[in-house]
Structure 1
């Protein structure tokens, strides 16, 4: 994607993009949307556009293998994403999870990697502590 296309996508809302995709596909996508309520950590921030970097977490259970090696591999994966990038993270134990991965620390870490935003089904925390201009994150919990 060139910068002109990215700017165009940032200038329109998600429903407009979804409607355009349906026109191109020649069918309605009624089964391809979330049924949960979306919550945004920074609703006044501009729209986010980017290449998806996907990951899964299990906030309820700590990893069984070497944590440092796994975490460094994840950080490398996020840091090396084509730009702009957006993280899509699934908490495999939601809604039974008791931990929150996304908060002030991970939002700042991912912003440092150049991640434009995050979409998760997991829990968010520290919303009042996010600095202005931080990459917004959404939860469809």
Structure 2
């Protein structure tokens, strides 16, 4: 497919928040954008914070690794600019290349505060996460 309509208006985003993820996934499958065997998370990925409301955002995707530095790694300023290039609201989605042998924790209080400041509403990762108490206090799921 490949075509995009641009950012959704706030009304539509609010309407999408009322629909559960499986229903949206089922609708996307009907559009045949990708194979039905793609686009879902492994069962071991679960919420580790007390999420009490639905969050919706444009995915800001990336990969992380504590084991190996990529020659293509972005400098912090470039990383932040890449986040800002995505429409709001934003949801950080990070894949840990070290998974399942994760040896570090990229996501914590500092990255959460930075993400909040950059208009992000949450984060999803298969990597290590720390500072859960602080994340809850700042309201970042």
What TM-score, normalized to structure 2?
A: 0.78
TM-superposed deviation, 1:62: 5.0
Shift of 1:38: 2.4
Cα deviations by residue, 1:50-95 (Å, 9 ceiling, x for unpaired): 2111111112245679x9x711111121133211111111111112
**Normalising to structure 1: TM-score of the pair?**
0.78
Q: Does structure 1 residue 120 correspond to structure 2 residue 115?
A: no
Alignment equivalent of 2:95, drawn from 62, 86, 90: 90
The answer to which of 53-62 and 105-114 deviates more is: 53-62
**Residue 17 of structure 2: aligned partner:** 10
8 A Cα contact 1:54 1:88, kept in partner: yes
Bigger relative contact order (CA 8 A; separation at least 6): 1
SS in 2 for 1:78: helix
In 2, are the aligned partners of 1:111 and 1:134 still within 8 Å (CA)?
no
Residues 28 and 125 of structure 1, relative CA distance in 2, 3 Å threshold: same
Relative to structure 1, the CA distance from residue 37 to residue 28 in structure 2 (aligned partners, 3 Å threshold; closer, same or farther) is same
Give the deviation of 1:107 after TM superposition: 1.1
Take 1:81 and 1:31, find their aligned partners in 2: how far apart are those partners?
Answer: 23
SS in 2 for 1:36: coil
Q: Note the residue ranges of structure 1 that are not aligned, 5 or more in a row.
A: 137-141
Count of residue pairs brought into register by the alignment: 134
Which structure 2 residue ranges, 5 or more long, are not aligned?
Answer: 1-7
CA distance in 1, matches of 2:92, 2:135: 17
Q: 1:23 to 1:133 in 2, by over 3 A?
A: farther
Which aligned segments of 4 or more residues in structure 1 are displaced greater than 6 angstroms? Answer: none
Cα distance in 2 for residues equivalent to 1:86 and 1:122: 15
Matched, 1:81 2:86: yes
Q: Is the 8 A contact 2:45 2:126 kept in 1?
A: no
